[in-house]
Amino acid sequence: MAIICSVGKAVPTYELEQNSVKDLVKGLFSYSNREINRLLPVFDHSAIKTRQFVVSEKWFMEEHSFEERNSLYHLNAIQYTLQAMDECLNEANSRESIAYEDIDLLVFVSSTGVSTPSIDTFLMNERPFRPDVERMPLWGLGCAGGAIGLSRVFNWLKANPTKTAILVNCEICSLTFQKSDQKKSNLIGTALFGDGISSVLLLGDHSRFREHLTKPSPRIKNYSSYTKKNSTEIMGWKIIDSGFEVIFSKSIPALVKTVWKEHMEHFLKQEELTIDEVDGFIAHPGGKKVLEAMMEVFDIPLDKLEYSYQILQNHGNMSSATVQYVLQRWLASDVERGKKALLTALGPGFSSEILLVEWN
Q: Which residue has the higher pLDDT, 12 or 22?
A: 12
What average pLDDT does this structure show over 216-237?
Answer: 93
Report the SS3 class of residue 178.
coil
Whether the CB-CB separation of 105 and 165 falls below 8 Å is answered with yes
Q: For helices 184-192 and 18-26, give the axis angle rounded to 10 degrees.
A: 160
Q: What predicted TM-score, i.e. pTM, was given to this entire model?
A: 0.96
At residue 64, the pLDDT reads 94
- Beta-carbon neighbour count of residue 290 at 10 Å? 22
Question: Comparing 43-57, 230-244, 323-337, which segment has the lowest mean pLDDT?
Answer: 230-244
What percentage of the chain exceeds 70 in pLDDT?
Answer: 100
pLDDT in tens, 85-122: 999 999 998 888 999 999 999 999 999 999 999 999 99
Question: Comparing 1-5, 67-71, 245-249, 295-299, which segment has the lowest mean pLDDT?
Answer: 245-249
Which amino acid type is present at position 283?
A: A
At residue 199, the pLDDT reads 98
Angstrom distance (rounded) from CA 183 to CA 264: 33
Element (H, E) at 15: strand 14-17
What average pLDDT does this structure show over 176-186?
Answer: 85
Element (H, E) at 315: helix 306-315
Q: Is the peptide bond before 350 cis (omega within 30 degrees of 0)?
A: yes
Share of the chain residues as helix, strand and coil, in percent rounded to the nearest 5: 45, 25, 30
pLDDT in tens, 54-94: 999 999 999 999 999 999 999 999 999 999 999 999 999 88
Angstrom distance (rounded) from CA 288 to CA 152: 28
Output the average pLDDT for the chain. Answer: 94
Q: Please determine, for residue 205, whether its predicted confidence score (pLDDT) is greater than 90.
A: yes
Angstrom distance (rounded) from CA 193 to CA 52: 9
Q: Please determine, for residue 32, whether its predicted confidence score (pLDDT) is greater than 80.
A: no
At residue 169, the pLDDT reads 98
Ordered domains of the chain (ranges, CATH): 2-212 (3.40.47.10), 218-359 (3.40.47.10)
Whether the CB-CB separation of 201 and 164 falls below 8 Å is answered with yes
Buried/exposed 191-214: b ≥16 CB within 10 Å, e otherwise: bbbbbbbbbbbbbbeebebbebbe
What percentage of the chain exceeds 90 in pLDDT?
Answer: 78
Report the SS3 class of residue 139.
strand
Give Dmax over CA atoms of the chain in angstroms: 63
Query: Mind telling me the catalytic residues?
Result: 143
